[in-house]
Every structure is written in C-alpha cells, then in structure tokens.
Amino acid sequence: MASAHPDLEGCTGFLQRLIRTESLPGREGEIAALIRDEMERLGYLDVGCDQVGNVLGRVAGNGEADPLMFNTHLDHVDVGDPAAWPHPPFGAEIHDDRVWGRGAVDIKGPLAAQVYGVARLIGGPAPPGDVWVTAVVQEEVGGVGARHLARNPPARRVVVGEPSRLQVRRGHRGRIAVLLKILGRSVHASVPESGVNPLISLGRFLSRLHEVEHSVADELGPSTVAPTLLETDQTSTNVIPAEIVQILDWRNVPGETDEVVLARLRALMDEVLEDGATAELTNPVHEMVTYTGVVSPIPENNPTYLLAEDHPLIEAARALAEDALGEQQKVDVWQFATDGGHFAAAGMEPVGFGPGDERLAHTRDEHIELAQLAAAMDVNERFARELSSHATTLET
Ligand SMILES: [Zn+2]
C-alpha cells in the first residue's frame, strides 16, 4: 500500500504512478481508478466518477463561503517514438530532482499537486466552503469532460492547474477549427479547361487570407489564422479533383465567435470563388466516445476567455500565491488554450495556476522539478483554505 500522507514524498510517489499509467484520450479508465483510490486513502468525501468518467472528490467546508473547484485532466498526448526520449516516457524516473516522463507537466504533476495540496485540509479545521478536486476526460481532444462538468459544476470558481511556472494566469486565446470544402468538376488533367479545378479557388483564397479582419485584445494580442491540413478526393496525379478540404486553424480573442469568424472567411471566399465552383465553410464536429461509453458530438473549438487583472478572483489568487511563495507574482496569460475556456463559456470563473514549465508540454523533454511540485502543493493548500472567501471579500 502506497503512502497517502500529504507530503512531497507521497505526492511524488503518486505522480510516478500516474505517469506509469498510460491514459490517452478515451482510455482514461485505469488512471481514473488510480486517482479515486488515492483520494479515498487521503480521506476525500464523495469520491467517484460522473457519466463521462470525470473524477471528483470533495473536502467538506463549513458553509460560510461558496464552494471552490480545482481542475486538471486525465489524458495526455501521444509519445511518438519512445526511443527518441532522453528517459522512458512512462518510466517516471527521477534525475536531478526532476520527475521525467509524458504528463510530468501536462498534466499529472499539476494533478498530483492539487490532490495532495488540498488533502492537507483533511482532518484539520474545515475551510469556509466545500472544496472539490476534479480531473476530466479528453481535454486534449476538444474538452469532452470539461464541457460535461461545466453543465452542472460543483462550484462556479475554478483553479485550472495547467502548468504556469507557479504564476497566476487569467486567460488565453481560443481556437476555432474551420473546415473549408470547395467543390468543382473533375475531369482528365489533360483537358483542364473542360472542368472546374477547386484548387484554383483555394489558391486565390489562401493568397488573400492575410486580408481577413482580425480582432485584437490588448493582453492576448491579435487573433491569427493558419491553413493546416489539405486533402483532395483524388489519389491519382493525372485527374483534376472534384472536391478538396482545407483546414484553417483560427486562434480567436474575445468577441470572435464561430459565427463572426466564419462570416469573415465566407466574405473573402465569395470574392475569389471561380465560376462553377461552390464552397462551404463550417466548424467541424466530431463524434467523441468516452471510456465510459458516452458518445457525443463535439465541435472542434476551444473558447477564449480573459478575466480582468483586477478581477477579485485574480487579485485574491495573486495575494495568496505571493504570500505562500514569498515572491512577487507576474500575472499573465497562457499561449495555449485550456479547459478554462469551456468553464468560462458556461459562466464560471477560471483562475490558472500550476507547477511546471508549460514550454515542456507535448515535448520529449517533459519533466517537472520536485521544488515546483512542493511549492504548488503549498499554494493549492492556501487557495483551498482561503481563495473563495478572500475573493468574495474583495467583491463586496
Ligand atoms: Zn493540459
């Protein structure tokens, strides 16, 4: 039986077991069971999974403040060729006071620091409000778990634990995938004038893509768009395709909804489309299946969000983190999108804070310093005790 003492040693051992348990999106059942067991050993209440397989556990508050939720996710991205890693991706080896492996920073290190940091409250004086620790499924593939949890969240305020080098984060750009389908008329490539080649319209469209309007949010910068995947319906080199699909990756800022972005792109498409060709611009939707067997259509987008720097939750988090770490905070935004976008879109208030260097996420050098884990446990403990009531005091 593993140690379940909420100290750094226990947290590190837990993190190693998490890394050694592979948990690709849609295959998080084993790691969910591991986390539930650990929460039960630590004394969490109401430990369980919801319909889609998200893990939840609670520390009881005394009812004097609103509940607070901590959140990370269960899944990770693929490792590619394991032989190309400096240390085995599922080995969780410790070298130079760092734990190495897939998920060390995204997101098993932050997950362990939330579960163990909050567990320090168990058996002591009750916090003012209930504290929930949650870890959701399929964050890396569209936020299936977060979308589900956001429909009926146990708390409105949420600490999103994505790696932030122990700095408070208040938002990020979002992502909207756009599927551009252009239909022409397929003919033999030796008589191109008798057909309609959709690649010609695409070429015109891409050459003028920089003209499309982009919104700017000061703190997040301008939105951007990049063409990524391109497919045609042909495998022959001597046939003009009838249909092509181009995917565009739009990183949006607040105010740029799916509809706004699609309308801007459609306006350009209307100007460049060749006679005889037709075009459709849509936000693709994918059927996702959770490990519990729930099937749901998930649009390929991730909302943007931004809380003001003087938002009571951000100010409270900054003050508590500075106090716990004895260091000035640099409140900033993330470069990538998180499940915080789904929570914010549902009217919740996400504040970002996690251990580890986010620049190592999705790389073969993924590792986390034990010192970061220890510090994050301290801050999470402090947040669990005071964040909700502190933010409410600032609000009123
Ligand atoms: Zn993540």
3 found inside a domain? no
Q: What is the whole-number distance in angstroms between the Cα of residue 162 and the centre of ligand 1?
A: 5
- Residue 229 CB-density burial (10 A; 0-12 exposed, 13-18 middle, 19+ buried): exposed
Q: What is the whole-number distance in angstroms between the Cα of residue 136 and the centre of ligand 1?
A: 10
Q: Do 139 and 106 form a contact (C-beta atoms < 8 A)?
A: no
Q: What is the whole-number distance in angstroms between the Cα of residue 24 and the centre of ligand 1?
A: 12
Q: What is the whole-number distance in angstroms between the Cα of residue 140 and the centre of ligand 1?
A: 7
Residues 182 and 310 in one domain: no
Q: How confident is the model at residue 6 (pLDDT cuts 50, 70, 90)?
A: confident
Q: What is the whole-number distance in angstroms between the Cα of residue 32 and the centre of ligand 1?
A: 16
Q: What is the whole-number distance in angstroms between the Cα of residue 280 and the centre of ligand 1?
A: 32
- What is the CATH classification number for the domain harbouring 233? 3.30.70.360
What lies within 8 Å, CB to CB, of 3 at 6+ separation is: 9, 10, 13
Q: What is the whole-number distance in angstroms between the Cα of residue 108 and the centre of ligand 1?
A: 9
331 found inside a domain? yes
Q: Which residues pair with 131 in a beta bridge?
A: 59, 68
- What is the CATH classification number for the domain harbouring 333? 3.40.630.10
Residues 340 and 250 in one domain: no
Q: What is the whole-number distance in angstroms between the Cα of residue 22 and the centre of ligand 1?
A: 15
pLDDT above 60 (res 4): no
Q: What is the whole-number distance in angstroms between the Cα of residue 204 and the centre of ligand 1?
A: 37
17-64 confidence digits (pLDDT tens): 999 999 999 999 999 999 999 999 999 999 999 999 999 999 999 999
Q: What is the whole-number distance in angstroms between the Cα of residue 186 and the centre of ligand 1?
A: 43
296 found inside a domain? no
Q: What is the whole-number distance in angstroms between the Cα of residue 297 and the centre of ligand 1?
A: 21
Amino acid residing at 209: L
Q: What is the whole-number distance in angstroms between the Cα of residue 21 and the centre of ligand 1?
A: 16
Q: What is the whole-number distance in angstroms between the Cα of residue 250 and the centre of ligand 1?
A: 19
184-231 confidence digits (pLDDT tens): 999 999 999 999 999 999 999 999 999 999 999 888 989 999 999 999
266-312 confidence digits (pLDDT tens): 999 999 999 999 999 999 999 999 999 999 999 999 999 999 999 99
pLDDT of residue 218: 80
Q: What is the value of pTM for the model shown?
A: 0.92
pLDDT above 70 (res 88): yes
- Residue 88 CB-density burial (10 A; 0-12 exposed, 13-18 middle, 19+ buried): middle
Q: What is the whole-number distance in angstroms between the Cα of residue 334 and the centre of ligand 1?
A: 11
Q: Do 217 and 201 form a contact (C-beta atoms < 8 A)?
A: no
Q: What is the whole-number distance in angstroms between the Cα of residue 73 and the centre of ligand 1?
A: 7
Say how many domains are in the chain. 2
97-152 confidence digits (pLDDT tens): 999 999 999 999 999 999 999 999 999 999 999 999 999 999 999 999 999 999 99
339 found inside a domain? yes
292 found inside a domain? no
Residues 77 and 109 in one domain: yes
pLDDT above 60 (res 259): yes
1 found inside a domain? no
Instruction: From 263, 287, 311, give the residue that closes a domain.
Output: 287
Residues 162 and 259 in one domain: no
Residues 227 and 131 in one domain: no
Instruction: From 259, 287, 315, give the residue that closes a domain.
Output: 287
Q: What is the whole-number distance in angstroms between the Cα of residue 106 and the centre of ligand 1?
A: 5
Q: Provide the H-helix boundaries in the chain.
A: 8-19, 29-42, 109-119, 144-151, 198-207, 258-272, 312-325, 340-345, 370-395
298 found inside a domain? no
Residues 59 and 150 in one domain: yes
Average pLDDT, the chain: 96
Instruction: From 258, 287, 316, give the residue that closes a domain.
Output: 287
Q: What is the whole-number distance in angstroms between the Cα of residue 258 and the centre of ligand 1?
A: 23
Residues 238 and 182 in one domain: yes
Q: What is the whole-number distance in angstroms between the Cα of residue 272 and the centre of ligand 1?
A: 39
Q: What is the whole-number distance in angstroms between the Cα of residue 19 and the centre of ligand 1?
A: 14
Q: What is the whole-number distance in angstroms between the Cα of residue 157 and the centre of ligand 1?
A: 19
**Residues of the domain holding 152:** 8-173+303-395
Q: How confident is the model at residue 3 (pLDDT cuts 50, 70, 90)?
A: very low
Q: What is the whole-number distance in angstroms between the Cα of residue 89 and the centre of ligand 1?
A: 16
pLDDT above 60 (res 1): no
Per DSSP, the residues of 147-191 read HHHHHS-S-SEEEE-S--TT--EEEE--EEEEEEEEE-B--BTT-
Q: What is the whole-number distance in angstroms between the Cα of residue 300 and the centre of ligand 1?
A: 16
Residue with tokens 């077991």, as numbered in its chain? 17
Q: What is the whole-number distance in angstroms between the Cα of residue 392 and the centre of ligand 1?
A: 28
Residues 234 and 319 in one domain: no
pLDDT of residue 287: 96
Residues 23 and 153 in one domain: yes
349 found inside a domain? yes
Residues 19 and 68 in one domain: yes
Q: What is the whole-number distance in angstroms between the Cα of residue 142 and the centre of ligand 1?
A: 11
Q: What is the whole-number distance in angstroms between the Cα of residue 330 and the centre of ligand 1?
A: 21
Q: What is the whole-number distance in angstroms between the Cα of residue 273 and the centre of ligand 1?
A: 39
Residues 118 and 39 in one domain: yes
Q: What is the whole-number distance in angstroms between the Cα of residue 72 and the centre of ligand 1?
A: 7
Residues 211 and 314 in one domain: no
> In this structure, what is the dihedral angle of CA atoms 36, 110, 339, 327, given to the nearest 10 degrees?
140
Count of CB atoms situated within 10 Å of the CB of 22: 17
Q: What is the whole-number distance in angstroms between the Cα of residue 119 and the centre of ligand 1?
A: 22
361-396 confidence digits (pLDDT tens): 999 999 999 999 999 999 999 999 999 988 888 887
What lies within 8 Å, CB to CB, of 102 at 6+ separation is: 19, 76, 77, 79, 89, 90, 366
